[in-house]
A and B are shown apart, each in its own frame.
Chain A
């Protein structure tokens, strides 16, 4: 919202701030100044202040609203522009309010004999500061009053209205042609202003071409309305139109302020546009806004601020803001009628503290807050630890897009999850939520290759998504990719990294089995599922080599699954080695096709945990129908004889 400094001076006659000081005060009490410009207005030097107005203060989307804030800060009187009673006519305005649940208040007058002409220079100049082109006297006055009071209004050419002017939820109109000639499709139940045949305006947003005023217009209906903000917001989003009116009406605009706004509007129309008010006021306001009475404990501002704010200071601030304060603490506080945002005691606390000034609250004292329990989840600790391991192994971290192209997602996917699609992403070429991190890793890899990077070792930790049995799934995942144009990387290298990660998480039984679901980007003869303690946690494999030379390997493991199992782990890798490690070999003959990892797992399960140092396969020899595996078992904490006895009891002589 922009405001000229001269307007602040007019509305607050005792103001002594410089323009810059006023801007700084606005910033500190909630309206950050993002523009400060020296300008000429009415032939004099002036200053234009640009202030940020947040969603809770539609009353400050007006010059008077902002002046009230500055006056309250200083405890100065506000002098509003004077208005005069309207000489009303006797006939009613032909208006019907059908959508009573969505129309909070509508005021209207019928005026005859208006003379639509060019606006005075000051008005044109004034509107130019707000990037509003001058249209004609009536439209410009309507805009001026909206800027001054915050109340939007609309003017219809009465002679172009067929029948009754009606506020209704749209039932029959398919579209409306707006003032600038655009055709906007209308949905059912949009709040429209219509006559017996045509839509004349999208209420709270934009006027229609049908009953627009032109230079030949002499007979008008002028209206102000405040509507259900949620419906205005919804309609505005649906047609993607935001106007000065909708910016205000999408918030809790004060319907009581309409009396003052309408009076200013009618006074100015009669001053600059002539005309005779031929109607009584139309005033639909079945549920007037009555401010709440809030019980206010005067110790609350001190409690929330952490510094002492006296009862007197609190009450003075509330009174300066226009609140009626009665009784003793807890006081009964009635906010001013234009402050629809003040509903609960904490709202009043905010008012007191912001005017008291945050700069009066020390900000250089580190709090000695109570020591509390660590609630950091396992997965957060795991992420941090894994990243350190991977960086130590020479891998670089990347962050890729969780939204992917359809083809990239298909190429990378190996999960049974259904893909999740976004409904309204403006980046239409990336509609899918990634099902694996491989899509992003390969995308990044290809980007690097385009730029001639020949040794690539990257990883990412991030979320992957999918739908399973109607439920949305979201798991934390770790993806790795290593590539070298020569022979400097190998499958064993990436397996080593993955095993380091898994083992450092505390798991010792890692198995690899030929993949059941192979991603299209993989070499189908060189890909394995990774199992930890017999649970599937991810895949490891080699990429298809199509577009580039060298070797590319990848792996992905589901950290959510690992994290969920870490909680139940009880491992203790620390031992005191007091006896020699005894190493003994054994030959096992197994049917071909039998998983070696299962065999090792079985062997491990037969051995007492406290006596196993290591179990490994040192030789594989294919026989006619079987395979012979030479297993090397290292025992610890046992004598030679004990180890041999145990070894023979398991493997035989």
Chain B
């Protein structure tokens, strides 16, 4: 009899498609009017021994039925879940996600800032609309000094207000506003009165450094500058220092890097001299320290600066400086520079 019931149940369960149908089947077997309930009621009419026997049988039958129903319930739940998941599923898109980019100048500045952060430098900024005092006079370039010819100036209100021609102007502010010792780098935009064309622009980007300590030296300056170039170009880079006049420093030094194109043999890139001029530097001139009321018997310092534009153009193979500064420079949708 039990085999018959189970077979019948299995047949029915095969036809069940939903949890609702399953519930009906469950009620038909295990409900208060279900077939197993009826069988159980009939037990009372049996003699005691037979009742025990049938009782065990019914209990076993009940367990088998329940197990089959539960198994079916689990199967149906899985199917329902699967159906829901399928309905909820989305397809992956094909439109590439727009990746943002930093401007090449910023990327290079970031890299340099990172190098100087490691050495304990602060990163400073300052006004672009500057006074003659901070741009020239405090940097040992008095009015009508011939050194002004090195920098064609864009004036806002001649002779006092101008667009800064060098980031050294921020050095003037730092010297005046902060109590030494300090170490700072100053990335920034400077202006020169030049006609814009493919290779000239009125905007340049400079990277300046200034250090004021009780004791420092050309050796510290050269060590710092060389470390920068090694960090940027690799351990094997060759750097040389030579005497060069800048009004705001003394002794002054020019810094050259061996030509990356010809390894010092001479080529059109280095104008056949084997070296490429990278920047200027030197010990801060006593007049510059004195202009900031710093006692030159106690404090000394060094400063350095380099231009970023030509370097960035070469790195990113940009041929027109107008592209670099607000022209045709764009970023490809898919490509992103690996900055890690």
Contact = CB atoms under 8 A, between A and B. Distances in A.
Contact of A463 (B97, B99, B128, B254): B128
B202 A374 contact: no
B245 A30 contact: yes
Interface string B98-129: 11111101100010010000011011110111
Contacts of B163: 402, 422
A397 B103 contact: yes
Contacts of A354: 243, 251
Contacts of A250: 146, 149
Interface stretch (B31-39, B73-81, B220-228): B220-228
Contacts of A379: 125
B183 A361 contact: no
Contact of B100 (A363, A371, A396): A396
B326 A400 contact: yes
Size class of the contact patch on chain A: 35 or more
A29 B240 CA distance: 12
B222 A397 contact: no
Contact of A363 (B213, B239, B273): B239
Contacts of B224: 366-367
Interface in A11-25: none
Contacts of B325: 399-401
A501 B128 CA distance: 25
A427 interface: yes
B151 to A, nearest CB: 11
A434 to B, nearest CB: 11
Contacts of B253: 358
User: Could you tell me the dominant secondary structure of chain B's interface residues?
Assistant: mixed
Contact of B129 (A399, A426, A474): A474
Contact of A28 (B105, B113, B243, B277): B243
Nearest to A428: B195
B101 A426 contact: no
B223 A362 contact: yes
B184 A375 contact: yes
Interface centre among B155, B194, B253, B326 (most CB of A within 10 A): B326
Interface string A409-446: 00000000000111111110000010000001001100
Interface in B169-208: 174, 178, 181-184, 189, 191, 193-196, 202-203
Contacts of B174: 375
Given A250-B149, A397-B106, A420-B129, A375 B98 contact: no
B215 interface: yes
A377 B243 CA distance: 34
Interface stretch (B6-14, B17-25, B52-60, B327-335): B327-335
A353 B183 contact: no
Contact of B156 (A56, A375, A420, A447): A420
Contacts of A401: 203, 325-326
A54 B245 contact: yes
B144 interface: yes
B259 interface: no
A423 B327 contact: no
B48 interface: no
A303 B123 CA distance: 28
Contacts of B226: 363-364
A233 B203 contact: no
A427 to B, nearest CB: 6
B127 to A, nearest CB: 5
A408 to B, nearest CB: 12
A234 B142 CA distance: 13
A494 B123 CA distance: 30
A305 B218 contact: yes
A376 B122 contact: yes
A44 interface: no
B247 to A, nearest CB: 7
A405 to B, nearest CB: 12
Given A229-B144, A420-B129, A423-B155, 15 more contacts: A33-B273, A303-B215, A306-B218, A353-B218, A362-B223, A363-B219, A363-B226, A374-B122, A376-B123, A387-B102, A387-B106, A397-B102, A398-B103, A400-B326, A451-B328
Interface of A: 27-30, 32-34, 36, 54-57, 229-231, 233-234, 250-251, 303-307, 344, 346-347, 349-350, 353-354, 358-359, 361-367, 369-377, 379-380, 383-384, 387, 390-403, 420-427, 433, 440, 443-444, 447-448, 451, 453, 455, 457, 462-463, 465, 472, 474, 476
Give me the 6 closest cross-chain CB pairs, A-B, nearest first.
A306-B219, A306-B217, A230-B144, A354-B243, A391-B100, A363-B222
14 contacts: A27-B242, A54-B245, A55-B147, A55-B245, A229-B146, A304-B218, A350-B243, A362-B222, A367-B220, A392-B100, A402-B128, A422-B154, A426-B193, A474-B127
Interface of B: 97-103, 105-106, 110, 113, 119-120, 122-125, 127-129, 143-150, 153-158, 161, 163, 174, 178, 181-184, 189, 191, 193-196, 202-203, 211, 213, 215-220, 222-227, 239-245, 247, 250-254, 271-273, 277, 283, 285-286, 300, 324-331, 333
